[in-house]
Structure 1
Amino acid sequence: MFFAQDFLQQRAIMRVYSAYRLVLASMILIALLFGPANSTLGTIAPKWFAIAVIGYTLFAIAALLIHTLFSTKYSQTQLFFEFFVDVGVIMLMSYCSGSADSGLPLLLIVTISAASITMPGQLSLAIAALATISAISEVAAHTLSERVSAQRFIVAGMTGTTYFAAAIAIRYLSARIVKAQQLAEHRRTDIEQLSRINQRIVQRMQTGIVVMSKTGQIKLINAAATELLDIPTPVTDSNHYVPPALIDMARNHKNTTKVINIGAGHLDIHVNMSILEKNSDSHRLLYLEDISKINQRAQNLKLASLGRFTASIAHEIRNPLSAISHAAQLLAESPDLNEVDQRFAAIIQNHALRMNDIIKNILELSRGRSPEPLRFALSSWLKQFLDDWQPSNHKPLDINVDSALKDDDVNVDRSQLVQIISNIAENGARHGAENSDKAILTFRCIKNASSGAVSLDIIDNGPGIKPEDEDKIFEPFFTTQKQGNGLGLYLCRELCLANQIHIYYRRTERGESCFRLQFSHPDRGTIAD
């Protein structure tokens, strides 16, 4: 990259110098043709001077065309030849002018400076040496035809010293400029690399990052934020805006923090907004975090506390409960009991079993086994699961799987996913059988087009949840069934939180009862809306 940069710089310098050469040759030609009769130019050999000026003008035109029209890389021989011609022609014109007052040798300082910038140090010093030798040779040539004072040799020597001084000084300054330019290029490369690294880090962050204007126009957004806000990707133009709830936050002129609910999945998102500059019209920086992750951390603390509590009382409850259940069973087997007493004994057994199920479910929650996520294709796993699963009520059941996805990977704990789907499917089969002659369960796998995350809909033909009860179904001990304990869906939600799965109840387009499981993206671990 630096070689390319050096070539572009060299090419630009040669274009400027070629233009200077053409202007210089043209001015000397005009001075020759239209100048005063007593001009010092070409006084000794006017014919050779005219030939040199005309030839130099044609050479300048050709060189300018070459440097302008062609972009091939220069060779050192080509550049040395051009500067050599400059030195030779100018010193020839100086010789033809005869007088030391022509000042033509001083023009070589520009030539030597250009050579010092565009060529290596040895070649540029060679040009300076040729110019010095030419200046001294010119004076020596004049001694053959006329008497020349020693002062002209001194002037020629001082001119040669000036040539070398200019070559060394320009070479030093050029080296310093090139070194500074290379350092700046290194810094620019480092900054670009850091920018790419920062961009990659931002895109891979699980926390959503959004930079937007006061009006909500998106300036920068990472993948996690597009999933949380359900914004189509890629965001490449200025026509993408954040949801209205975030625009309302942007109108506030102070840094603020708020929890908002966005999307059909009703995701609770914790938003932290900062104004980048003191100016109230400056861009806003938003940090978005799915509240389910915070709930997951709180859930872990809750399970740990619940585990310590239930472990201390489990045996205290189960031991007498086991004795009650065993005594009721023995009592029911007694032949002396009448029908009423047998019914009471059956009630005792049923409620003892119900209490035992409650304790069993609470113990499962209290143990709080950390999930062991494994990446796998959901559709193929679901078909295998349904081949082995049967509802406990043994009533007629139709199971349909609707999935045409080719890439539906999820990253969750398989055993805990079995518990979740079994519980929901068991409830759906029971309510479907109660509502009609046959229970119908439909499992539908869908994929978010913008985020790539997978969702699973479990649809049944039951009556569904009443609208006023939809916010309560995941609460512990809430149930609409006489024999239910209200812990099934609560257990499902806790297991979903542990696996970063968003679960909620909805109605399909045809009004069917549906539970949706929204899985986190298998790579980033963020939940799509």
Structure 2
Amino acid sequence: MNAAQSDSRKPVRTRSLYGNPYPLPATLTRRIVGYLSVYRIVIASLLAAGNFDLIRDLQNQSFSRTFAALLIIAYLLFASFELFMARRHTSNAHRLVRYALLADVLFLSGLLFVLGGLGSGVGTLLVFTSALAGMLLPLRFALFITSVATLALIGQAVTGLALSLYPLGILLPAGMYGATAMVACMLCHRLAYWARDYRVTAEKQESQIADLEKLNEVIIRNMSTGVLVIDADRRIKLMNEYAWFLLGSPKVRELLLADLSPRLDRTVEKWQANPSVELRPVVLETSQANVLPAFAVMPGEDEPGALVFLNDESVISKRALELSANSLAKLSGSIAHEIRNPLAALTHAAQLLDESPSITLNDMRLTNIILDQSKRMNGIVENILQLSRQEQSRPEPVELNQFLKDLAKEFGTTQTAKDLDFEILVETGKTHVVFDKSQLHQSLWKLLDNTVHHASVKRPPRAQLKMRKDESAGYCVITVQDNGPGIPKSRITDIFEPFFTTRKAGSGLGLYIARQLCEANQAELTVDSQPGVGTAFHIRMGLAPRGRTRSRSVATAHAESGQT
């Protein structure tokens, strides 16, 4: 075994958690020293009052009686000085209590000898001082002070026995006093350490509880659910920020619930009368928010209060719609994959039949119907598969002016079935945005295709692709507009829902996919429509910062030229 291993096995002596060997911390020790100073003044005053005749005839007494009077006066002065020092915040509490208790034992031991031994009651004061030493001082120093007190108790008895002042039996009470002083010192020292450990544990738990309270406060404050704490009188005691917003942002928070929302107050009253009652959504008067309340009992001091949870119905509906749309997209994608293979076989068979030299005119007409409907079904399948894939966007700098011109040219070449008046209006200059170019192309293509199908049939159909920008506000808007019949106000909120369509040949997924692609690129797709005049779809997106565009352009140029 080497030296390092032998040293590692040695027990490590650790000091207290407060960085010193004293059982109690300095703040608590200082407080106890203050109490002890008052106690010392009282004891010294009682000793002076009980031996007033000694002090009064100080010059006409024997040496022992004069020494006793001087000792009492000195102890009274020392007690006054200790009280003064204890009240000074600059004094060292641990050092002060060490010298004070040592001086107590010396003064009391001297008084024990000159005031008549154990019968004077000074022995009890020595036992009490030993207990205090065990509580406030390191164990070694406390045992030293207790040993001085014990020796004084036994020494006074032995001296009196030697001078024939006491009988032999005086040794027994003196020894009991000494043993009591030792036991009291040891017990008080151990109790002080236990109190110190419990204090440290309590401080740690208090700190942890405070941290948990702060954490809970942050969590509750930032919850997307409104939380109210009400008492038995349905007075609002606490609320988080979302509940404050739902209740109309009141200036005073501790109000009766009935003053802010009588409807919610009546719902709480019904719940308190019958906790099993079925709860219904409540429209809050102040904010007109439609909420679904939930309640939980919160015990109070006198009567139980309640926790009120306000769940915004619009948020719940949106989440339910997103979940249902995602589930439906996955299910539709699986079905679309199963349809695609037989549809391809059906289309191929119709094409072969159409190319047959022996086909009749009537059969050719039926074959064309099969091919047209197969093409329509394939478009529906492609939309469903695109909905189910939900590809992640890959934003990149896009120069909109040229992009829109190329898109309009490409779209114009495909529109041969209708005499469509298609116009593009783009501001001069360059406009840069950060967008997934492929997804922007898909979104605009679906909007343009939707415009073509809804353009007016009573007058020459017209469609416009426009772009305007506001550099001061930092955004631009692309508008796709037609002169069709428009959308009724009662149906305008439904057009972006999946599988909603007003066309017999439509799938109801084009506008829904277009909005999803815009939201994936932090853009906003909205609609304006006026029945009998037309409909306009707007894609609002932020302009690209110049620095980002320039850095991307340089990186692209380097990549194209092969530079590193």
Q: Taking structure 1 as the reference length, what is the TM-score of the superposition?
A: 0.65
Instruction: Please state whether the residue corresponding to 2:93 is helix, strand or coil.
Output: coil
Identity across aligned pairs (percent)?
17
1-structure distance, mates of 2:288, 2:477: 16
What RMSD in Å do the two structures reach over aligned CA positions? Answer: 5.9
User: How far 1:6 moved relative to its partner?
Assistant: 2.9
Instruction: Please state whether the residue corresponding to 1:469 is helix, strand or coil.
Output: coil
1-structure distance, mates of 2:390, 2:98: 75
In structure 2, relative to structure 1, the CA distance for the partners of 1:311 and 1:497 (3 Å cut) is: farther
In structure 2, relative to structure 1, the CA distance for the partners of 1:322 and 1:88 (3 Å cut) is: same
Match of 2:424 in 1: 396
User: How far 1:34 moved relative to its partner?
Assistant: 8.1
In structure 2, relative to structure 1, the CA distance for the partners of 1:281 and 1:426 (3 Å cut) is: farther
2-structure distance, mates of 1:216, 1:355: 66
Contact 2:37 2:83 in 1 (8 A): yes
1-structure distance, mates of 2:120, 2:107: 14
Establish whether residue 296 from structure 1 lines up as the match of residue 322 from structure 2: yes
Match of 1:27 in 2: 46
1-structure distance, mates of 2:487, 2:77: 95
**TM-superposition CA deviations, 1:252-290 (whole Å, max 9, x none):** 413655567899x99987x46122248674222456664
Contact 2:383 2:509 in 1 (8 A): no
In structure 2, relative to structure 1, the CA distance for the partners of 1:134 and 1:476 (3 Å cut) is: closer
2-structure distance, mates of 1:275, 1:167: 54
Establish whether residue 117 from structure 1 lines up as the match of residue 167 from structure 2: no
Contact 1:476 1:486 in 2 (8 A): yes
Match of 1:83 in 2: 101
In structure 2, relative to structure 1, the CA distance for the partners of 1:169 and 1:272 (3 Å cut) is: same
Instruction: Please state whether the residue corresponding to 1:284 is helix, strand or coil.
Output: strand
Q: Which has the larger radius of gyration?
A: 2
Give the one of 75, 93, 102 matched to 2:120.
102
Match of 2:187 in 1: 169
Contact 2:34 2:86 in 1 (8 A): yes
Contact 2:108 2:122 in 1 (8 A): yes
User: How far 1:361 moved relative to its partner?
Assistant: 4.4
User: How far 1:489 moved relative to its partner?
Assistant: 1.6
Q: Which letter does structure 1 place at the counterpart of 2:334?
A: R
Instruction: Please state whether the residue corresponding to 2:337 is helix, strand or coil.
Output: helix
Establish whether residue 51 from structure 1 lines up as the match of residue 54 from structure 2: no
Match of 1:439 in 2: 466
Match of 2:33 in 1: 14
Establish whether residue 468 from structure 1 lines up as the match of residue 528 from structure 2: no
Give the one of 209, 212, 223 matched to 2:229.
212
In structure 2, relative to structure 1, the CA distance for the partners of 1:136 and 1:371 (3 Å cut) is: farther
Match of 2:88 in 1: 69
Instruction: Please state whether the residue corresponding to 1:283 is helix, strand or coil.
Output: strand
Contact 1:371 1:499 in 2 (8 A): no
Contact 2:235 2:254 in 1 (8 A): no
Q: Which letter does structure 2 place at the counterpart of 1:17?
A: L
User: How far 1:365 moved relative to its partner?
Assistant: 2.2
User: How far 1:103 moved relative to its partner?
Assistant: 0.6
Contact 2:229 2:308 in 1 (8 A): yes
Give the one of 259, 266, 284 matched to 2:308.
284
**TM-superposition CA deviations, 1:76-108 (whole Å, max 9, x none):** x44321100111112222323235421112112
Q: Which letter does structure 2 place at the counterpart of 1:489?
A: L
Instruction: Please state whether the residue corresponding to 1:473 is helix, strand or coil.
Output: coil
User: How far 1:238 moved relative to its partner?
Assistant: 5.9
Q: Which runs of 5+ in 2 are unaligned?
A: 1-15, 357-364, 413-421, 530-534, 542-564
In structure 2, relative to structure 1, the CA distance for the partners of 1:64 and 1:8 (3 Å cut) is: same
Indicate the larger mover: 121-130 or 303-312. Answer: 303-312
Contact 1:44 1:98 in 2 (8 A): no
Aligned ranges for residues 221-370 of structure 1 at < 5 Å? Answer: 221=240, 249-253=267-271, 254=275, 271=292, 273-277=294-298, 281-286=305-310, 290-317=316-343, 356=375, 359-366=378-385, 368-370=387-389
Indicate the larger mover: 83-92 or 482-491. Answer: 482-491
2-structure distance, mates of 1:128, 1:182: 28
Q: Which runs of 5+ in 1 are unaligned?
A: 331-344, 404-408, 448-454, 519-529
Contact 2:127 2:177 in 1 (8 A): no
2-structure distance, mates of 1:236, 1:3: 46
**TM-superposition CA deviations, 1:63-84 (whole Å, max 9, x none):** 2333333166534x44321100
Q: Which letter does structure 2 place at the counterpart of 1:93?
A: L
Contact 2:298 2:304 in 1 (8 A): yes
1-structure distance, mates of 2:304, 2:178: 66
User: How far 1:142 moved relative to its partner?
Assistant: 5.2
